Amino acid sequence: MNLDELSRQKYGRSLAELDDATVYQLLMSVVSEKSAELPLNAGKKRLYYISAEFLIGKLLTNNLINLGLYDEAKQQLAEAGHDLNKVEENEVEPSLGNGGLGRLAACFIDSMATLGLPGDGVGLNYHFGLFHQKFVDNQQTTMPDGWLDREGWLRDENTSFTVEFGSFSVTSKLFSIDVLGYERPKKNRLRLFDLESIDDSLVPDNSIGFDKTELKKNLTLFLYPDDSDRNGQLLRVYQQYFMVSNAAQLIVKEAISRGCNLHDLAEYAVIQINDTHPTMVIPELIRILTEDHDIAFDEAVSIVRSMVAYTNHTILAEALEKWPLEFLEEVSPKIAAIIKKLDELTRAEFDDPAVQIIIDGKVHMAHLAIHYGYSINGVAALHTKILEESELKPFYDIYPEKFSNKTNGITFRRWLMGCNPELAVLLDTLLGTEWRHTGDVSGLLKFADDDEVLEQLAAIKDDAKQVMRDFLKFNQGAQVLDGSIVDVQVKRIHEYKRQQMLALYLIWKYLDIKNGNIPERPITVIFGGKAAPAYVIAQDIIHLILTLGEWIANDPDVAPYLQVIMIENYNVTAAERIIPAADISEQISLASKEASGTSNMKFMLNGAVTLCTIDGANVEIAELVGDDNIYTFGASSDEVVKLYADGSYNAHAYYLKPGIKLLVDFITNPQFMATGNAERLQRLHDDLTSKDWFMALLDLEEYIQEKELVYSDYEDRKLWLKKSLVNIAMAGKFSSDRTIAEYNDEIWHLQADK
């Protein structure tokens, strides 16, 4: 590849003369042409990973890495005076996911392609995706994210299906994006269904409101549109059925084209459903087999039962989908009828009311997936244990053989080679390049006492901090304090993740500095994350963080030592710039509530030290690195489960502790409140003092102590660098290649292509 030559051919100018936007166009066409030539991974049996979300991030760097062109491209760009990071600013990030679940799907399709497994992602092409977050008056506002305007990776597959709803039908249109494996000669695809009759003009320029009843025109406009009213919820069920009907038709069509007679469909296709959002694929496949292909109902049920596997991603009750039967009857009477039949079958077999599919007129999607699929898995060891022993115990008692754990993982291409190339090169120098294929970086451990290596790690962290500074400056004009320790909590805003607890720590630290206790070095605390538009308390938490950040910045006694930055519109691109720069990874969910977490793995791999509760995959991180290399605090999962069970957590009693009251009441201190929105701050204060459903006050004192210990340990440079090194070295387990190999060995049983 000679980019200068290509530039002259295509634009009649040298590479050095191109602006970054044109360099981006050039690189993109090179990558697209190469990837278009690659054949698909083939095999009798294919996997379909159906997911409402694929948070794939920008693709240029990733695809250059996977095609083995990254080093060349970077060098040629540098010689012509271009910086790949700057060039990449011209790429728009597809807005097709909320958070962990969607990003996991993206890591998984990357790993499937890397392992040569024949399998595709299947989802929807939301025109405005998830909203774009903007801060106005220290509050979140939401704008449509018109990412499709400039997206260039989508290919029209010239394929359509008809999807029949209760009172009308629509035509779909299939797009795809190539999914390349790491240095692999074959590829897979992400297949995104769209609506032929979609109408972008329903969405105004400056708001995410739209007519929710115009189903023929709006079905693929947004990801998870606000579901706080009836129309919104109904729309979501329509979206789900649209997604799975297309997926099922595609699966059947492709199996037939490979020689399947449909009685043997399970030998040709296996479906992984990413949480319950695609569960209706079960009745939809049964419908297609019985209605269109004359297969008897019982046989259709047993075929489908042997090909659908379900992953659970949460135990939060409010996130477990239960749809009123009447919704399903409106969306698709045929599907509702099949679900009723399936419900009758399970009713005849099991007496326990807790395991029925339809309970009080609502369809429990997880129950449907467990009875009529062959596999259910949790996403971290602790999470799976909680599913088996409590949340889904009645199901585990019936089907112990269906349950398994598949601890989540992350792709090292994006989360190490792409976002932290200097660290990747250091690993090459110390370990050779094998780790790039195996994910095994444990060889680094033998350098734990090598001063030279530790100093190299320190220099890499400093460089990453500079990249982060440039990003924050560019993104929102924020100026990071010089030489500060970087302490990060980035994830969706949710009470169970307890951003409010870190905010209370910041109040403590602010007051401590006001009292004359000056920190050894400046501290930069970085938040990032979106809040669901209908989730009021989450918006209040954002407001507290932003107001606090401004308050501290305006106090000359404190501003030189403590700083709070909230990243606007946190997304994959921001994560790639922030995570490599972090010293401290905040994973402070209420124990039992975070199913796994995946940013915890990304931080660890990039040398941050974790400050955490014993929750989700933090448990496995702690086991790997040992007590000396992680900071843990807080009530255990068992203790929390008990507190909920006997209802004995008393937020008000914790609030009344003098040390805590001072911090919580700061939120409604009249001077502070006058700088923000009194209603929001008052509501948050009242919630914490009377409800505190996710028990931030329970763990607050221990959290403050542990954080102080972390900051003081940071000052022992050698000790800290060693912790950082051990974290990197032990992160190999969290390669999504390992996770996907487990899915394949234990659930999918696909043959890898050559």
Q: Give the nearest distance from C-beta 628 to ligand Z2T in angstroms.
A: 26
Q: Which is nearer to ligand Z2T, 370 or 467 (CB)?
A: 370
Q: Which residue, judged by CB position, is nearest to ligand Z2T in the bound state?
A: 100
Residue 602 appears among annotated catalytic residues: yes
Q: Give the nearest distance from C-beta 729 to ligand Z2T in angstroms.
A: 23
Q: Which is nearer to ligand Z2T, 395 or 654 (CB)?
A: 395
Residue 732 structure tokens: 């190999």
Q: Give the nearest distance from C-beta 458 to ligand Z2T in angstroms.
A: 30
Q: Which is nearer to ligand Z2T, 576 or 594 (CB)?
A: 594
Q: Out of 66, 249, 408, 632, name the contact with ligand Z2T by CB under 6 A.
A: 408
DSSP secondary structure letters along 667-735: TT-HHHHHTS-HHHHHHHHHHHHHT-TT-HHHHHHHHHHHHHHHHHHHTSHHHHHHHHHHHHHGGGGGB
Q: Is 121 in the site for ligand Z2T (CB under 6 A)?
A: no
Q: Give the nearest distance from C-beta 319 to ligand Z2T in angstroms.
A: 4
Q: Is 597 in the site for ligand Z2T (CB under 6 A)?
A: yes
Considering 346, 598, 632, 689, which one is annotated as catalytic? 598
Contacts of 376 (CB under 8 A, 6+ apart): 309, 310, 311, 312, 369, 370, 387, 392, 395, 399, 402, 403, 404
Q: Out of 3, 104, 419, 552, name the contact with ligand Z2T by CB under 6 A.
A: 104
Q: Out of 272, 592, 598, 629, name the contact with ligand Z2T by CB under 6 A.
A: 598
Q: Is 129 in the site for ligand Z2T (CB under 6 A)?
A: no
Q: Which is nearer to ligand Z2T, 101 or 285 (CB)?
A: 101
Q: How far is it between the farthest Cα atoms of the chain? A: 80
Q: Which is nearer to ligand Z2T, 366 or 467 (CB)?
A: 366
Residues between 427 and 446 with contacts to ligand Z2T, criterion CB under 6 A: none
Residues between 700 and 719 with contacts to ligand Z2T, criterion CB under 6 A: none
Q: Give the nearest distance from C-beta 497 to ligand Z2T in angstroms.
A: 8
Q: Which is nearer to ligand Z2T, 334 or 406 (CB)?
A: 406
Q: Give the nearest distance from C-beta 52 to ligand Z2T in angstroms.
A: 8
Helices H / strands E in the chain, number of each: 32, 21
Determine the interface stretch with ligand Z2T among 60-68, 345-353, 476-484, 589-597 (rule: CB under 6 A): 589-597
Considering 187, 436, 461, 497, which one is annotated as catalytic? 497
Q: For 555, phi and psi rounded to 5 degrees?
A: -105, 105
Q: Is 594 in the site for ligand Z2T (CB under 6 A)?
A: yes
Considering 494, 602, 707, 722, which one is annotated as catalytic? 602
CA angle 12, 15, 16 (to 5 degrees): 115
CA 252 to CA 188: how far, in whole Å? 18
Q: Give the nearest distance from C-beta 663 to ligand Z2T in angstroms.
A: 27
CA 278 to CA 394: how far, in whole Å? 23
Considering 45, 277, 313, 469, which one is annotated as catalytic? 313
Residue 141 appears among annotated catalytic residues: no
CA 493 to CA 542: how far, in whole Å? 8
Q: Is 275 in the site for ligand Z2T (CB under 6 A)?
A: yes
- Sheet strand arrangement including 631-632: 562-567, 523-528, 485-490, 584-587, 609-612, 631-632
- Looking at 325-373, which runs of residues are DSSP E strands? 358-359, 362-364
Q: Out of 486, 531, 595, 609, name the contact with ligand Z2T by CB under 6 A.
A: 595
Q: Is 481 in the site for ligand Z2T (CB under 6 A)?
A: no
DSSP secondary structure letters along 571-592: -HHHHHHHGGG-SEEEE-PPTT
Q: Which is nearer to ligand Z2T, 41 or 600 (CB)?
A: 600
Determine the interface stretch with ligand Z2T among 354-362, 529-537, 588-596, 684-692 (rule: CB under 6 A): 588-596
Q: Give the nearest distance from C-beta 233 to ligand Z2T in angstroms.
A: 15
DSSP secondary structure letters along 219-282: TTSSSS---SSHHHHHHHHHHHHHHHHHHHHHHHHHHHHTT--STTGGGTEEEEEESSTTTTHH
Helical (H) or strand (E) element with 430: helix 421-431
Q: Which is nearer to ligand Z2T, 96 or 564 (CB)?
A: 96
Q: Out of 125, 596, 689, 744, name the contact with ligand Z2T by CB under 6 A.
A: 596
Q: Which residues are registered as beta bridge partners of 120?
A: 48
Q: Which is nearer to ligand Z2T, 93 or 178 (CB)?
A: 93
Q: Is 28 in the site for ligand Z2T (CB under 6 A)?
A: no
Residues between 82 and 101 with contacts to ligand Z2T, criterion CB under 6 A: 98-101
Q: Give the nearest distance from C-beta 114 to ligand Z2T in angstroms.
A: 19
Q: Give the nearest distance from C-beta 276 to ligand Z2T in angstroms.
A: 8
- Which candidate, 339, 342, 320, places its Cα nearest to that of 329? 339
Residues between 310 and 329 with contacts to ligand Z2T, criterion CB under 6 A: 313-314, 319
Residue 623 structure tokens: 């086991």
Q: Give the nearest distance from C-beta 321 to ligand Z2T in angstroms.
A: 8
Q: Which is nearer to ligand Z2T, 216 or 322 (CB)?
A: 322
Residue 364 appears among annotated catalytic residues: no
| Distance linking the first and last C-alpha atoms of the chain | 25
Contact 86, 130 (CB under 8 A): no
Using CB under 6 A as the binding criterion, the count of chain residues that bind ligand Z2T stands at: 17
Q: Give the nearest distance from C-beta 101 to ligand Z2T in angstroms.
A: 3
User: Regarding beta strands 187-195 and 162-164, do their DSSP bridges make them parallel or antiparallel, or are they unpaired?
Assistant: unpaired
Q: Which amino acid is at 518?
A: I
- Which candidate, 115, 295, 323, 314, places its Cα nearest to that of 235? 323
Q: Which is nearer to ligand Z2T, 121 or 519 (CB)?
A: 121
Helical (H) or strand (E) element with 455: helix 451-476
Helix, strand, coil content of the chain in percent (nearest 5): 55, 15, 35
Q: Is 140 in the site for ligand Z2T (CB under 6 A)?
A: no
Q: Is 379 in the site for ligand Z2T (CB under 6 A)?
A: yes
Residues between 175 and 194 with contacts to ligand Z2T, criterion CB under 6 A: none
- Looking at 351-459, which runs of residues are DSSP E strands? 358-359, 362-364, 375-378, 403-405
DSSP secondary structure letters along 495-536: GGGTHHHHHHHHHHHHHHHHTT---SS-EEEEEE----TT-H
Q: Which residues are registered as beta bridge partners of 121?
A: 49, 190
Q: How would you class 407 by CB atoms within 10 Å of its CB: exposed for 0-12, middle for 13-18, buried for 19 or more?
A: buried
Residue 738 appears among annotated catalytic residues: no
Determine the interface stretch with ligand Z2T among 182-190, 347-355, 471-479, 591-599 (rule: CB under 6 A): 591-599
Centre a 10 Å sphere on the Cβ of residue 678 and count the other Cβ atoms it contains: 11
Q: Give the nearest distance from C-beta 601 to ligand Z2T in angstroms.
A: 9
Contacts of 302 (CB under 8 A, 6+ apart): none
Site string for ligand Z2T, 724-743 (x = CB under 6 A): --------------------
Q: Which is nearer to ligand Z2T, 57 or 100 (CB)?
A: 100
CA 524 to CA 509: how far, in whole Å? 12
- Which candidate, 380, 370, 408, places its Cα nearest to that of 100? 408
Half-sphere exposure of 661 (CA within 13 A, CB side): 5
Q: Out of 616, 634, 676, 732, name the contact with ligand Z2T by CB under 6 A.
A: 616
Q: Which is nearer to ligand Z2T, 381 or 448 (CB)?
A: 381
Residue 497 appears among annotated catalytic residues: yes
Considering 8, 86, 492, 657, which one is annotated as catalytic? 492
Residues in touch with ligand Z2T (CB under 6 A):
98-101, 104, 275, 313-314, 319, 379, 408, 594-598, 616
Instruction: Give the residue numbers marked as catalytic.
Output: 313, 491-492, 497, 598, 602
